Amino acid sequence: MATQGERRAETRQRLLDAAAELFAERGIEGSSVDAIADRAERTSGAVYDHFGGKDGLLFALLEGWVDDVAVVIGAEVATAITLDDLLASIWRNVSDPPMGGGRWIALEHELWSHAARNTEAREHLARRYRAAWDGVDGAVAEWSDREGPAVGPALIGLLLGLEMMRRVDPSAVTDDMAIAALRGIVRTTTGAER
């Protein structure tokens, strides 16, 4: 017999899985709390109990995927020998993320659109992006030959834009082109050459 903690963990995971499926199918705005609960075979009260509402569920879902991808990127960055190795690792994990069943980056774009209309979501996304920018700045600083301005916002913006264009037309953004564009941002901003 499952313990209460195990049942709560199962309910939480079922809600996350259901939300991921519905957000991918219908978008954030088109996915109601009731629909998510129904898909998870739980009650809407479970959504509120575990996440406080749909936005809390969305944030928890993305945070889990982002944290998982950050671990993978961190491990690959630690073994990178060249700047291109570093950028290829970052690009690969954004363009074809190992977590989230391929839905993570699409949901990231959904969150951006949702945040454009929702103050709480915008504030949450701004905090997340600031943390991501700081992480990128830290990784890139290790490769810089001289100090330069922060590159995080430009690099993350370029990554997401390139990934979006690749989704629209996979042949339009090759891996080599994406890495060259990322290298251009890093070298222009920091002078990194390795």
pLDDT digits (tens, 9 = 90+) for 52-106: 999 899 889 888 877 777 788 778 878 888 888 888 988 988 888 776 666 777 7
- Cβ neighbors of 1 (< 8 A, separation 6 or more) are none
User: Hunting for tokens 């905090």 — which residue is that?
Assistant: 127
Q: Residue 161's Cα: distance from chain center in Å? A: 13
- pLDDT top residue among 102 and 24: 24
**DSSP class of residue 17?**
H
Is residue 48 over pLDDT 90? yes
What's the half-sphere exposure (Cβ side, CA atoms, 13 Å) at 155? 32
* Best CA proximity match to 57, nearest among 49, 106, 10: 49
Instruction: Report the alpha-carbon angle 24-87-175, nearest 5.
Output: 65
Which CATH superfamily does the domain covering 1-52 fall into?
Homeodomain-like (1.10.10.60)
Please give the Cα distance from 139 to 125 (Å, whole number): 21
Please give the Cα distance from 150 to 147 (Å, whole number): 9
| Share of residues in the chain with pLDDT > 70 (%) | 91
Is residue 192 over pLDDT 70? no
- Cβ neighbors of 34 (< 8 A, separation 6 or more) are 44
Q: Which fold has domain 55-190?
A: Tetracycline Repressor; domain 2 (1.10.357)
pLDDT digits (tens, 9 = 90+) for 106-151: 787 888 888 898 898 899 889 888 988 888 787 777 766 555 678 8
> What type of residue is 162?
L
Is residue 193 over pLDDT 70? no
Domain borders along the chain are 1-52, 55-190
At what angle are helices 152-168 and 175-190 packed, to 10 degrees?
160
**pTM to 2 decimal places:** 0.74
Per-residue tokens: 79: 């073994």
